[in-house]
């Protein structure tokens, strides 16, 4: 078996985004991971730690955690069951099946699917793989930052990191990774879409809250409750966490602009991060004094995602622009 399942992904400089942001923009291309997103880092690590002797893994997912679990399980020779909500598009269900996983569609949103995954783990004796709330996942995701530090070299430190938040696992991993490489004070811009905004709601309420529903089309950001560790990082201030929102229309526009300019197709969950540059949000944060001017290079975690193809892109255009 290889040492780990994830790849050391490219770190690209984007000329067009740098022009837009007014500082150098680096893209950490997690879309090029074997499972299509960063999730393989944490989930691959967790499966290797917990599932080598397992009779099977079960993972609840908006799609991409499931893709990572299915990929890791297939390579470990362990059966995988992935439970997704009915909001997951057909393209991701097909891709999960192509990875050899058994797919169950349960409930309307991820929280419903997760209840079923927990039940199956208990009744069938399967290893439960959560999509975002576990220290082993965060430890795996933290490898993003050590790779970035190695790629940038000793002279360069980012001015801020931009990433998307679903349940907060990526945020926890990146904050941990920033500490690991000695960049703990670098702010993180934590992006969500309106209607999939569990971290933003928690920050506004001053406590972890549960959303009534997920109304955003960025279904892979659609956890109703953020994990406690992510909320605690947002409150501690050691690594400043700026919780910001974009609309679905802004996230979709960002997906389209990124496709045109960088020739890469990513899903809405990732569009939220890209929109931080394309909508001028980074400039606004500078004007508000929440980010410094001038700003050192901006690092975008291009989280990727498999819930997208040309047909799904057209569906989103029809839904959001009709």
Footprint on this chain of ligand PLV (rule: CB under 6 A):
37, 39, 61-65, 110, 131-132, 164-171, 220-223, 267, 269-270, 303-305
Closer to ligand PLV by Cβ: residue 166 or 187: 166
For 51-87, give one letter per residue: b (16+ CB within 10 A) or e: beebebbbbbbbbbbbbbbbbbbebbebbbbbbbbeb
Count Cβ atoms below 10 Å from residue 216 Cβ, excluding itself. 24
C-alpha span between 13 and 101 (Å, rounded): 36
Closer to ligand PLV by Cβ: residue 61 or 250: 61
Sign for the pseudo-dihedral over CA of 113, 122, 225, 169 = negative
Closer to ligand PLV by Cβ: residue 265 or 295: 265
Shortest separation between residue 167's beta carbon and ligand PLV, angstroms: 4
C-alpha span between 219 and 203 (Å, rounded): 21
Shortest separation between residue 19's beta carbon and ligand PLV, angstroms: 25
Closer to ligand PLV by Cβ: residue 37 or 239: 37
CB 44 within 8 A of CB 72: yes
Closer to ligand PLV by Cβ: residue 37 or 99: 37
C-alpha span between 86 and 39 (Å, rounded): 21
Q: Is 233 helix (H, G, I), strand (E, B) or coil?
A: helix
C-alpha span between 69 and 79 (Å, rounded): 10
Shortest separation between residue 319's beta carbon and ligand PLV, angstroms: 19
* Helix (H), strand (E) at residue 28: strand 25-29
Q: Is 76 helix (H, G, I), strand (E, B) or coil?
A: helix
CA distances, 277 to each of 61, 190, 234, 241, 262 (Å): 28, 13, 21, 17, 14
Shortest separation between residue 243's beta carbon and ligand PLV, angstroms: 12
Closer to ligand PLV by Cβ: residue 17 or 266: 266
Closer to ligand PLV by Cβ: residue 177 or 295: 177
C-alpha span between 67 and 43 (Å, rounded): 10
C-alpha span between 173 and 52 (Å, rounded): 23
Shortest separation between residue 267's beta carbon and ligand PLV, angstroms: 6
Shortest separation between residue 139's beta carbon and ligand PLV, angstroms: 13
Shortest separation between residue 287's beta carbon and ligand PLV, angstroms: 27
Closer to ligand PLV by Cβ: residue 22 or 136: 136
Shortest separation between residue 191's beta carbon and ligand PLV, angstroms: 9
Vertex 97 angle, CA 315 and 165, to 5°: 55
Find out whether the peptide bond into 59 is cis, omega within 30 degrees of 0: no
Closer to ligand PLV by Cβ: residue 257 or 306: 306
Shortest separation between residue 135's beta carbon and ligand PLV, angstroms: 13
């Amino acid at each position: 078996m290889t040492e780990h399942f994830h790849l050391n992904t490219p770190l690209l400089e984007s000329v067009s985004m740098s022009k837009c942001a007014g500082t150098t923009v680096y893209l950490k291309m997690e879309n090029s991971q074997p499972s299509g997103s960063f999730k393989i880092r944490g989930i691959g690590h967790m499966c290797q730690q917990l599932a080598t002797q397992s009779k099977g893994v079960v993972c609840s997912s908006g799609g991409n955690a499931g893709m990572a679990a299915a990929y890791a399980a297939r390579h470990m020779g362990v059966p995988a069951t992935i439970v997704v909500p009915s909001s997951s598009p057909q393209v991701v269900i097909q891709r999960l099946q192509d990875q050899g996983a058994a797919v169950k569609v349960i409930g309307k949103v991820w929280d419903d699917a997760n209840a079923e995954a927990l039940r199956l783990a208990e009744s069938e004796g399967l290893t439960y793989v959560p999509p975002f709330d576990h220290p082993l996942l965060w430890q795996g995701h933290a490898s993003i930052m050590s790779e970035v530090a190695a790629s940038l070299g000793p002279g360069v430190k980012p001015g801020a990191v931009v990433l998307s938040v679903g349940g907060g696992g990526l945020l926890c991993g990146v904050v941990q990774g920033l500490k690991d490489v000695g960049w703990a004070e670098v702010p993180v811009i934590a992006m969500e879409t309106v209607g999939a905004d569990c971290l933003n709601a928690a920050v506004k309420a001053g406590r972890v809250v549960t959303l009534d529903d997920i109304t955003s089309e960025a279904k892979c950001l659609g956890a109703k409750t953020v994990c406690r560790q992510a909320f605690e990082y947002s409150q501690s201030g050691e690594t400043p966490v700026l919780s910001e929102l974009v609309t679905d229309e802004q996230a979709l526009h960002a997906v389209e602009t990124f496709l045109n300019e960088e020739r890469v197709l990513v899903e809405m969950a990732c569009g939220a991060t890209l929109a931080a540059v394309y909508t001028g949000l980074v400039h606004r944060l500078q004007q508000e004094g929440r980010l410094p001017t001038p700003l050192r290079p901006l690092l975008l975690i291009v989280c990727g995602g498999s819930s997208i193809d040309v047909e799904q892109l057209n569906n989103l255009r029809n839904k959001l622009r009709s």
